[in-house]
């Protein structure tokens, strides 16, 4: 495989074309609520807070609104997007040996993803995403079984046919697991893509993140504006973008409806990706960054130039913002495939 020049022609080695993702197997509970509701929920606006499943249950008792229920988890969302685009996709995680976990696995398969799901007697994890009228999401997360993956359960054989393996930043809460995953992926000869996931994650795991970057374990680094600011110490967009790309092959700063900035280490240049879609306001931003990654990584393994990769990522992110939850409906995928 090689990456050369700002167009990033990308040719996976023979037999290495799959995209895999490692992360938390979670069920998303998407709840539309007011800003006032956030203040009494224990959630941080725009962030993520770890809680027990009983806390989520108690919060749901405080609202007459019913949440939508869909399979989720950041890395899983990305894998599902890749599968829906028609590419070979795989997801590695752990679920509970319960009805919720079995339903999760079934839905992942339907989306065209090969699930490698270990099981546990602990309940399947879940996330309550509270979505306010401005389409911002604030998350309360119970990891459950998803947090019980052991480092020695990550097998190198999972990645033998992979060109890229995408990791969610939440794995940094388990340093031994993250490092085991990184070493297994690099030994298999695949590129590592890391999404920083949340500014809370960056702040809590700064030491490990610095170690990962310094050790050249990360090839593709993705962050939104808040995550980039937490990582670089810069709120200025230009300074943050430049700092983000210093120590990785490719870095991406996702700018929501303004598109994204892609930084290529070798050239030091950036490409502005214009926002895509019909210009409708977002209904819910849940999964926007995850699906952006789906389109971008799909573009890379197909040898698309950076501008095309970014446009495809932006379109996936736009389409998922038109619905509640992280699953794009069939008609959305039809629009995306027209440029893929």
Highest mean pLDDT among 187-191, 261-265, 317-321: 187-191
Q: What does each C-alpha distance from 79 to 6, 157, 209 come to in angstroms?
A: 26, 18, 23
CATH number at residue 275: 3.40.1190.20
Q: What is the rounded average pLDDT of the residues 53-67?
A: 93
Burial class from Cβ neighbours inside 10 Å (0-12, 13-18, 19+) for residue 238 reads exposed
Note whether residue 9 is domain-resident. Answer: no
Closest CA to 313 of 249, 254, 245, 232: 254
Note whether residue 50 is domain-resident. Answer: no
Structure tokens that stand for 82 in this block: 């890749």
Asked if pLDDT for residue 339 goes beyond 90, the answer is no
Instruction: Give tens-digit pLDDT for 112-129.
Output: 999 999 999 999 999 998
Note whether residue 3 is domain-resident. Answer: no
Note whether residue 66 is domain-resident. Answer: no
Looking at per-residue confidence, does 169 or 268 come out higher? 169
Asked if pLDDT for residue 328 goes beyond 50, the answer is yes
Looking at per-residue confidence, does 261 or 94 come out higher? 94
Note whether residue 111 is domain-resident. Answer: yes
The count of domains in the chain is 1
Q: Are 209 and 180 in contact (CB under 8 A)?
A: no
pLDDT at position 272 is 64
What's the pLDDT band for 136 if we cut at 50, 70, 90? Answer: confident
Note whether residue 254 is domain-resident. Answer: yes
Instruction: Give tens-digit pLDDT for 147-179.
Output: 999 999 999 999 999 999 999 999 999 999 999
Q: What is the rounded average pLDDT of the residues 254-274?
A: 73
Note whether residue 327 is domain-resident. Answer: yes
pLDDT at position 276 is 60
What's the pLDDT band for 9 if we cut at 50, 70, 90? Answer: very low
Round the average pLDDT of the chain to a whole number and report it: 89
Cα gap 335→77, rounded to integer Å: 19
For residue 95, the cross-strand partners are 119
For residue 258, the cross-strand partners are none
Residue 171: which domain range?
A: 18-24+72-122+149-337
φ/ψ of 298, rounded to 5, equals -60, -45
* Cα radius of gyration rounded to whole Å, the chain: 18
Note whether residue 266 is domain-resident. Answer: yes
pLDDT at position 24 is 94
Q: What is the rounded average pLDDT of the residues 253-272?
A: 75
Q: What is the largest CA-CA distance in the chain?
A: 55
Instruction: Give tens-digit pLDDT for 272-298.
Output: 665 565 668 888 888 899 999 999 999
As a whole-number percent, the residues of the chain with pLDDT over 70 amount to 93
């Amino acid at each position: 495989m090689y990456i050369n020049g700002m167009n990033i022609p990308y040719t996976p080695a023979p037999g290495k074309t799959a995209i895999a993702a490692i992360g938390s197997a979670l069920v998303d509970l998407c709840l539309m609520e007011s800003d006032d509701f956030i203040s009494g929920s224990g959630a941080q606006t725009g962030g993520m807070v770890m809680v027990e499943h009983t806390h989520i249950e108690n919060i749901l008792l405080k609202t007459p609104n019913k949440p939508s229920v869909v399979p989720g988890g950041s890395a899983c969302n990305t894998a599902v997007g890749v599968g829906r685009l028609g590419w070979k996709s795989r997801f590695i995680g752990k679920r509970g040996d319960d009805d919720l976990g079995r339903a999760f696995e079934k839905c992942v398969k339907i989306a065209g993803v090969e699930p490698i799901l270990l099981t546990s007697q602990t309940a399947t994890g879940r996330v309550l995403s509270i979505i306010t009228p401005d389409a911002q999401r604030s998350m309360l997360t119970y990891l459950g079984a998803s947090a019980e993956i052991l480092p020695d359960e990550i097998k190198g054989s999972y990645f033998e046919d992979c060109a890229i393996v995408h990791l969610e930043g939440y794995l940094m809460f388990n340093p031994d697991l993250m490092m085991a995953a990184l070493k297994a992926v690099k030994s298999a000869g695949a590129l590592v893509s890391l999404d920083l996931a949340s500014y809370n994650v960056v702040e809590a795991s700064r030491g490990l993140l610095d170690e990962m970057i310094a050790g050249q374990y990360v090839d593709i680094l993705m962050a939104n504006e808040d995550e980039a600011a937490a990582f670089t110490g810069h709120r200025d967009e230009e300074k943050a973008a430049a700092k983000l790309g210093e120590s990785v092959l490719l870095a991406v700063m996702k700018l929501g409806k303004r598109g994204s900035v892609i930084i290529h280490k070798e050239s030091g240049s950036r490409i502005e990706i214009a926002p895509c879609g019909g210009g409708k306001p977002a209904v819910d931003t849940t999964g926007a960054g995850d699906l952006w990654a789906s389109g971008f990584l799909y573009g890379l393994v197909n040898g698309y130039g950076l501008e095309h990769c970014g446009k495809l990522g932006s379109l996936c992110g736009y389409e998922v913002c038109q619905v509640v939850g992280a699953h794009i409906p069939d008609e959305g995928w039809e629009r995306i495939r027209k440029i893929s």
